[in-house]
Structure 1
C-alpha cells in the first residue's frame, strides 16, 4: 500500500498499524456479533445510481446549510470519544482540521480535550454532544460551558440508557482515562475485574430513566437548538418533532449499541417520510465514500456525519490526516455529483438512486 492513502479504507489500515490493539479495537469495534457494524457499510453497496447525462456540470457547488450555518459540503464530523488515544493533540487537531475544511465538528461528551481547549483552538461552528447522567447537574454544567464557549447547538445522544456489549473492549479490559470535562464533577475511576472499565463506568453513571418528558427540562436550561441522535423509526421521529427538536440524526451509534438494529442508510427513508420536511435530518454510520454521501442525500438526509474515518485519519497522520479524510470524501462526492448530472446539492433527488427493495420489486 502506498504511504499516502488514496481512500478512507487505507487510512483505517494505517491506523491499525499505528495504534495499540486495545485502542484500535475500541475505535473499530461494534456490539456483540458486529452484524450491524458490517451492515452499516454494506447496505450502501446495495444502492445503485440512476445517473443523468448531458447536464452542464462544468461548475459543481457542494455547499449546504445546517441550522442556518453554511458549510463547504454536507459532511460533518461526528462525536467520537477520546481522540488523544489516537494522537497527542486529540480533539484540538480534529477541530482545526474541521475549521480548515469549513465544516462543523460535533465535540464528543467523552472528549480527551476540554470544551474550553477546543473552543480556543480556532474559530469555527461547533456543536456539543450531550449525554445525561444520573446526576443531572453535571449535564447542566456542561451545557452552560458549551454555551459560554460559543457552541451553536446540542446533540442529545438518546440511544444509550445502558452501554452496548462491546466484546473487544471486554476482552482487552479497556480502561477509561479521566475525562477532562468531568474533572471536579465526576470520577471515571471504576473498579472492574471482569471486563471493560468503560462498561462498568457507564453502568454506574448513565441515566436509564431518561425519557421524552426530559426534553422539556433540557430546553429549560439552554437557549441552544437541540438535535436528537439515535432515531431509527418513524414513531420516534414523529415524537421528536412533537417535542420540538431542531433536528434529527438517524444513527445506530456506529453499531456499538444494539446489534441487529438496521443499518442507518436502510432506516433513513422511514424517518424522512415520517418527518415530512418539518426538521432537518442528518445521518451517520458506514459512510466511507463520496458515493455514500450522495446516496444519503438522495434518500432525504441534509448531511452525513463521519466518525471512525476521522479517528483513523487522526491516528495515521494527525491533523493533516483528518483534513485529508474530509477532502477525500468531498472530492469523491463532487465527482459523483458530476457523473450523475447534479451541479449542486439541491439537484440531488430521490430519482437519482435505486434501492434494493425497488430492484426486487421491479423483477416481480
Structure 2
C-alpha cells in the first residue's frame, strides 16, 4: 500500500503541485525580500534539545488548557483569509478537522464561510480574529454575531495599520476571485479585494481603504465596552508592547510577525518570544505564531514560554490536498511528532517543558531544510 506524507514538507509539495501559481504565491509569500519569512523557520535551528533519561514516558500527553478550554494538543489554526481559495468547503472543512484533533481554530475576519456555519462545524475552541476597520459599526456587528454563535474569544491583529509590500502579489496583480468573498462583511467593504491590475494587489488596495491606521492602545476600551469575550492581541514582538498589553488588561498575547508578511526585517517570532515572555505576568497566556513545521518546533516554542502555537500555511496545504481529512493529517502529524519528541526528551507533557530543555545549537551553518518524504 502507498504511504502518505510522513512530514508536512510532503503535504507542502503536493499542495504546490495542484494550486494555481498566483494562489500559491498569495499563500506562501512574505513582504519585500522575505527575510523575516525565512527567519521564522531558520530561528528554530538555533536551539538544541537536552534530553533527560530514566523518566517514565509510557503515557505521554499532548494536552493543555488555554483560556479555560481543554485542548488535545497545544496547537491552534492561525487566522487566515479565504480558505475557499484552496478548497470549496473552505473554513467549514477546517473547523471539522480542528474539532476532530482537539485544536483551537481562530477564524479570520475575511473568512469565506459565515461565522454561524463555521461554529456549527466546530467541536473545539473557536476564536474570531479582527482587523480594526474604519467602519466601527461593522466591527461591532461582527462581535455581536461571534458572541451569539459561541465564539470564545476575540483576537485583534495589531501589526497591520497597512498591508506589507508583498511583491509576489504585486507581480501577479493578485485579486480575490469574484466567486470567493468575505461573506461576514458587507460586500461594499471588501469590493477592492476583487480589483487589481499589473503591479497592484487587491488585498493591499482593500487595506488602504478599510483598515484604520489611527488605532492606539486607548481604542481597546471601545472594544471592551462591547463584549465580555476575552481579548487576545496578535502581533506583539517587544517587551515594551507586552507590558502595555498586560497594563491594558488583555487576556492573552500572540507573538507574531504576521508570518513574515508585514515588516520585512522584523524579528523572527521565536527570537522575540523570550523577551515577551519575560515581560508578561506568568498567568497571562502566551502563544507563538510563525514558522512552526514540526512537533519539535512546538516543543521548542513551549520551552521558551509559549502555552501554545498557531499554525497557518500548513493548514492550507492540507485543506488543498484533502479537505477536512487533509487538515486532520496536518494536525495528526504535529501531534505524533510532538508526542514522540516529548517521550525522547524525557518530558511527558507540555507542562514539563521549560528552558532547561534547550541549549544553543553548537554549530551554525546553512539550513538543511525539512527532511523526509
**TM-score calculated relative to the size of structure 1:** 0.95
**Contact (CA 8 Å) 1:310, 1:325: kept in 2 or not?**
yes
The aligned counterpart of 1:280 is 285
- Encode CA deviations 1:224-257: one digit per residue, 9 max, x unaligned: 0000000000000000000000000000000000
Residue 129 of structure 1 aligns to a residue whose secondary structure is: strand
The aligned counterpart of 1:260 is 265
Find the aligned partners of 1:10 and 1:313 in 2 and give their Cα distance. Answer: 10
**Contact (CA 8 Å) 2:48, 2:360: kept in 1 or not?**
yes
Find the aligned partners of 2:117 and 2:58 in 1 and give their Cα distance. Answer: 41
| Structure 2 runs not aligned, ≥5 long | 365-373
Q: 2:182 matched to 1:182? A: no
Decide whether aligned partners of structure 1 residues 347 and 123 sit closer, same or farther in structure 2, where only a CA change above 3 A counts.
Answer: closer
**TM-score calculated relative to the size of structure 2:** 0.93
In terms of mean alpha carbon deviation, does 237-246 or 38-47 score higher?
A: 38-47
The aligned counterpart of 1:104 is 104
| Structure 1 residue 80 displacement after superposition | 1.1
| Structure 1 runs not aligned, ≥5 long | none
Q: 2:344 matched to 1:303? A: no
Find the aligned partners of 1:250 and 1:197 in 2 and give their Cα distance. Answer: 27
Instruction: Select 2:207's aligned residue among 197, 202, 213.
Output: 202
| Structure 1 residue 45 displacement after superposition | 1.3
Find the aligned partners of 1:214 and 1:24 in 2 and give their Cα distance. Answer: 35
Decide whether aligned partners of structure 1 residues 51 and 140 sit closer, same or farther in structure 2, where only a CA change above 3 A counts.
Answer: same
| Structure 1 residue 12 displacement after superposition | 0.9
The aligned counterpart of 1:349 is 354
Instruction: Select 2:317's aligned residue among 303, 306, 312.
Output: 312
Residue 184 of structure 2 aligns to a residue whose secondary structure is: helix
Find the aligned partners of 1:151 and 1:314 in 2 and give their Cα distance. Answer: 22
Residue 305 of structure 1 aligns to a residue whose secondary structure is: strand
**Contact (CA 8 Å) 2:246, 2:281: kept in 1 or not?**
no
- Encode CA deviations 1:339-358: one digit per residue, 9 max, x unaligned: 110112211121000135x9
The aligned counterpart of 1:152 is 152
| Structure 1 residue 197 displacement after superposition | 1.2
The aligned counterpart of 2:79 is 79
Q: 2:128 matched to 1:128? A: yes
| Structure 1 residue 104 displacement after superposition | 1.1
| Structure 1 residue 184 displacement after superposition | 5.4
Q: How many residues align?
A: 358
| Structure 1 residue 118 displacement after superposition | 0.7
Find the aligned partners of 1:124 and 1:41 in 2 and give their Cα distance. Answer: 28
The aligned counterpart of 2:370 is none
In terms of mean alpha carbon deviation, does 144-153 or 337-346 score higher?
A: 337-346
The aligned counterpart of 1:34 is 34
Runs of 4+ aligned structure 1 residues displaced above 6 Å come to none
